[in-house]
A and B are shown apart, each in its own frame.
Chain A
Amino acid sequence: MAVVALHEGTRPSGVFTRHDIHGDTVVDCDVVIVGSGAGGATMAAELAEAGIDVVVVEEGSYYGTRDFTADTSAMIRQLYRDGGATMAIGNPPIMFQEGRAVGGSTVINGGMSWRTPEPILQRWEHEFGLAGIARELEPYFDRVERRIHVAPMDESAIGNDNWLLKKGADAKGWKYVGNLRNQVHCIGSNRCAFGCPTGAKQSALVSYIPRALHYGARVYADVVVDRITRHGKRATGVMGHVRRPDGSRGHALAVRAKLVVSACGAIHTPALLERSGFRSPSGLIGHNLSLHPNVKVVAIFDEDVTGWKGAHQAFQVREFEEQGLGVFAAVNVPPSILAMSFPHRGAQLGALMQQYNHMVLAGLLCEDTTTGRVRTLRGKPQAFYQLNAHDTANMQRGLVLLSELLFAAGAKRVLLPFAHAKEVATPDEAHRLLDKPIPTHGWEVVTVHMMGTARMGADRSAAVTDFHGQVYDADRLIVADASLFPTPIRVNPMETIMALATHAAGHVIDNTRRLLS
């Protein structure tokens, strides 16, 4: 059984790695999918079950659940693109993280599973001509939630940091929700971001990928796709090469297919399309990059928190979601990651870190109102993104609110996310400090939600793809990742990606004669 094999850490049949490719290789199939994350794995499973011959090509390596250990930096090197050191250029630069492993970013995300909020779908319908999208996606959301087991957390797995966040929200009278996550009895190892070592998180690695393999799909790991091959405007497959452990090029792999799906995320999909010579009539490939910028504070409590014993994000404060501040949440990170976010050093750093088990790291997600761009420079993507004054002011307001919440929960000090960290000891101090604009170059901003760079829409002059992800002015080429989002969605994007990918798979199955003949 494939699932058992995955949990045991052995490589299941149907997964090929660099060790299996001994020379330049040509593979034939019906559909080749680039990327094995939320979009790619979902499409692979749905299409394979329908009897379609599917090949998935993934740049990252294959790891099983038992490969996920407590060695944080080893996990980052193995599971994150560029060791997690990827950055959108702007002032301030914004660090972003992408998964690079079989299962994609679902292997390293927190497992938050939320449907696209209704107001967002209404906006997509009205502004982007996606008529009936809410009704049309509903059965696909149901299906995805069943497959990846979206469920509330077991209360016993919730850590003290999250109870403190809830306590603060209760004290303020603010709206919050218990998190829905793709997990089966998550037990609070708090290692979501480094590969779930218990197998509780139902990432694509342990859900859609085993399903795809079970129904006959093949997965080629350790293979970088150089370009989509084409005949005129028709996509005909992909050309790639094996990625050796040192990053150098290994043997070539060519996949000949009747349909090509790009599911390598909002940073790499536009670059792949561009370097393959596809052009959009809208000229918008790579444009419209949204990031859900995140900022965080660290609160220090007298009481013991030990936030690493407990589930990653059990609650989300949603009081300000209509005001562009989508989510407030508590997220524990290992001491090394926390230490690198502090500007302190030497003995000061040591003294601060001694309070690690008394800290709550809380962040907020901003529904951004500006967009950036992914440019393709010498074939590689580079993101550019400049925070605008509106979002900066909104995040600054969010930091005041988040500090208020943490003080209401009993925090004694709160450290703010500026290069020369400001520390405040009361809500009034936070107000006073944050009432004045703070220059953006001093901000520490991060993100894990990249969206919108091949947006869907009914108007080919204002979108890159249609509602099924089919690229305008190209034939047999589909996008199935967060690139499709016309706007930011204010919540975690995984479930929306999976629902859109299922929707696209249904379209392919319904149109087999036209798309796969």
Chain B
Amino acid sequence: MKPTTRAVLRSLVPVVCPPEAVPLTEAIVDHMGLALDASPALLRTGLDVGLVAYDLGAIARHGKRARSLTGEAAERYFRSWEHGITPMHRQMAHGINQLMSLSCYEQPEMMERVGYRPAPWIAEVTKKRLTVFADDIAKQDRQILAPDPLRRNRETTSDLIAAKKVGS
């Protein structure tokens, strides 16, 4: 992630994420980097360009870059993009909100906060399934490999090759 992109995203965490997520700013931005790495190149480029525009656009309005805005000024500036005069402004704000919200609630602390604890649940039900339904699971595993040809009594390719060799 480019330093500019990172700096702007860092400044947006208090605007987009709930207050309790602010101590997780670095982890949230790191996660956004991972998500962006897996995204289409066009989207990554669009976000980089958009964030530069967002960063510099604040100078005309607030006399400093967006990455340096805090509190109410940062909030007002982001809102001006959410309700921006062009679809590009609105789409950019929407995209940042989506991506950052995703990364915010991927943090273990935030999942815990909303009561989402999938790992122990998965471990519990996996163990239960393997214990209670072992016979049916084994039966299906056998079924998957059991012979059941789609067509019977057909010539296989090996037959054809063998026939060709005999013929020659």
- Report A's interface with B, CB cutoff 8 A: 1-4, 30, 46, 49-53, 69-70, 72-73, 76-77, 80, 82-83, 85-86, 143, 146-147, 149, 184-185, 187-191, 197-200, 202, 206-207, 210-211, 214, 306, 308-309, 334-343, 345-347, 349-351, 353-354, 356-357, 419, 441, 502, 505-506, 509-510, 512-513, 516-517
Stretch touching chain A among B3-11, B51-59, B61-69, B116-124: B116-124
Enumerate chain B residues within 8 angstroms of A200, measured Cβ to Cβ. 129
User: Does the CB pair B151–A184 fall under 8 Å?
Assistant: no
Q: Say yes or no for B88: interface residue by CB 8 A criterion.
A: no
User: Top 6 closest A-B pairs, CB basis?
Assistant: A350-B18, A51-B156, A83-B38, A336-B105, A70-B118, A356-B114
Q: List 12 A-B contacts (CB under 8 A).
A: A49-B150, A73-B103, A185-B137, A191-B122, A335-B111, A339-B101, A340-B101, A342-B101, A349-B101, A506-B150, A509-B154, A512-B155
Instruction: For the complex formed, measure the closest distance between the CB of A247 and the CB atoms of chain B, giving whole angstroms.
Output: 8
Bound-complex Cα distance A108 to B110 (A)? 24
Given known contacts A335-B111, A342-B101, A347-B19, A1 and B40 CB-to-CB distance under 8 angstroms: no
Bound-complex Cα distance A69 to B122 (A)? 9
User: Does the CB pair A191–B118 fall under 8 Å?
Assistant: yes
Given known contacts A214-B145, A308-B121, A346 and B102 CB-to-CB distance under 8 angstroms: no
User: Does the CB pair A343–B129 fall under 8 Å?
Assistant: no
Which of B15, B20, B133 has a CB less than 8 Å from the CB of A345?
A: B15
Instruction: For the complex formed, measure the closest distance between the CB of A490 and the CB atoms of chain B, giving whole angstroms.
Output: 28
Of chain B, the residue at the smallest CB distance from A351 is B18
User: Does the CB pair B17–A334 fall under 8 Å?
Assistant: no
Known: A82-B38, A345-B17. 15 other contacts (CB 8 A): A50-B156, A51-B159, A83-B37, A189-B118, A335-B110, A335-B114, A336-B103, A336-B111, A339-B101, A345-B15, A350-B17, A351-B18, A354-B114, A512-B157, A513-B160
Q: How many interface residues does B have (CB within 8 Å)?
A: 63
- CB contacts under 8 Å to A, within B131-150, are 132-133, 136-137, 140-141, 143-145, 147-150
Given known contacts A52-B156, A336-B106, A185 and B39 CB-to-CB distance under 8 angstroms: no
User: Does the CB pair A502–B35 fall under 8 Å?
Assistant: no
User: Does the CB pair B39–A345 fall under 8 Å?
Assistant: no
Given known contacts A309-B121, A510-B151, A86 and B144 CB-to-CB distance under 8 angstroms: no
Q: Say yes or no for B86: interface residue by CB 8 A criterion.
A: no
Given known contacts A73-B31, A73-B35, A339-B105, A50 and B151 CB-to-CB distance under 8 angstroms: yes
Enumerate chain A residues within 8 angstroms of B168, measured Cβ to Cβ. none
Convert B22-34 into 0s and 1s, putting 1 for each residue whose CB lies closer than 8 angstroms to a CB of A: 0000000001001
User: Does the CB pair A345–B35 fall under 8 Å?
Assistant: no
Given known contacts A72-B106, A191-B122, A343-B97, A334 and B144 CB-to-CB distance under 8 angstroms: no
User: Does the CB pair B150–A51 fall under 8 Å?
Assistant: no
User: Does the CB pair A346–B17 fall under 8 Å?
Assistant: yes
Of chain A, the residue at the smallest CB distance from B150 is A46
Q: Which one of A185, A356, A505, A517 has the greatest number of beta carbons of chain B within 10 Å?
A: A185
Enumerate chain A residues within 8 angstroms of B75, measured Cβ to Cβ. 346
Given known contacts A356-B115, A506-B150, A3 and B106 CB-to-CB distance under 8 angstroms: no
Enumerate chain B residues within 8 angstroms of A190, measured Cβ to Cβ. 118
Of chain B, the residue at the smallest CB distance from A358 is B115
Which of A2, A3, A82, A356 has a CB less than 8 Å from the CB of B116?
A: A356
Enumerate chain B residues within 8 angstroms of A50, measured Cβ to Cβ. 149-151, 154, 156
Given known contacts A50-B151, A185-B136, A340 and B99 CB-to-CB distance under 8 angstroms: yes
Instruction: For the complex formed, measure the closest distance between the CB of A246 and the CB atoms of chain B, giving whole angstroms.
Output: 9
User: Does the CB pair A334–B118 fall under 8 Å?
Assistant: yes
Bound-complex Cα distance A336 to B24 (A)? 15
Chain B interface mostly helix, strand, loop or mixed? helix
Instruction: For the complex formed, measure the closest distance between the CB of A52 and the CB atoms of chain B, giving whole angstroms.
Output: 5
User: Does the CB pair B40–A85 fall under 8 Å?
Assistant: yes
Chain A interface mostly helix, strand, loop or mixed? helix
Given known contacts A337-B102, A356-B114, A506-B151, A512 and B137 CB-to-CB distance under 8 angstroms: no
Bound-complex Cα distance A217 to B105 (A)? 42
Instruction: For the complex formed, measure the closest distance between the CB of A505 and the CB atoms of chain B, giving whole angstroms.
Output: 6
Q: Which one of A51, A76, A85, A357 has the greatest number of beta carbons of chain B within 10 Å?
A: A85
Of chain B, the residue at the smallest CB distance from A509 is B151
User: Does the CB pair B150–A509 fall under 8 Å?
Assistant: yes
User: Does the CB pair A202–B126 fall under 8 Å?
Assistant: no
Instruction: For the complex formed, measure the closest distance between the CB of B132 and the CB atoms of chain A, giving whole angstroms.
Output: 8
Instruction: For the complex formed, measure the closest distance between the CB of A155 and the CB atoms of chain B, giving whole angstroms.
Output: 14
Enumerate chain B residues within 8 angstroms of A198, measured Cβ to Cβ. 122, 125-126, 129
User: Does the CB pair A512–B101 fall under 8 Å?
Assistant: no
Of chain B, the residue at the smallest CB distance from A95 is B98
Enumerate chain A residues within 8 angstroms of B37, measured Cβ to Cβ. 77, 83
Enumerate chain A residues within 8 angstroms of B43, measured Cβ to Cβ. 82, 85
Bound-complex Cα distance A210 to B118 (A)? 28
Enumerate chain B residues within 8 angstroms of A211, measured Cβ to Cβ. 144-145
Enumerate chain A residues within 8 angstroms of B118, measured Cβ to Cβ. 70, 189-191, 308, 334
User: Does the CB pair B141–A82 fall under 8 Å?
Assistant: no
Which of B102, B115, B126, B141 has a CB less than 8 Å from the CB of A1?
A: B141
User: Does the CB pair B122–A353 fall under 8 Å?
Assistant: no
Bound-complex Cα distance A199 to B134 (A)? 12
Instruction: For the complex formed, measure the closest distance between the CB of B102 and the CB atoms of chain A, giving whole angstroms.
Output: 4
Enumerate chain A residues within 8 angstroms of B97, measured Cβ to Cβ. 340, 343, 345
Instruction: For the complex formed, measure the closest distance between the CB of B117 and the CB atoms of chain A, giving whole angstroms.
Output: 9
Instruction: For the complex formed, measure the closest distance between the CB of B31 and the CB atoms of chain A, giving whole angstroms.
Output: 7
Which of B20, B40, B132 has a CB less than 8 Å from the CB of A350?
A: B20
User: Does the CB pair A82–B154 fall under 8 Å?
Assistant: no
Instruction: For the complex formed, measure the closest distance between the CB of A186 and the CB atoms of chain B, giving whole angstroms.
Output: 8
Bound-complex Cα distance A21 to B113 (A)? 45
Q: Say yes or no for B76: interface residue by CB 8 A criterion.
A: no
User: Does the CB pair A184–B154 fall under 8 Å?
Assistant: no
Enumerate chain A residues within 8 angstroms of B111, measured Cβ to Cβ. 334-336
Enumerate chain A residues within 8 angstroms of B136, measured Cβ to Cβ. 184-185
Which of B20, B21, B125, B141 has a CB less than 8 Å from the CB of A4?
A: B141
User: Does the CB pair B144–A207 fall under 8 Å?
Assistant: yes
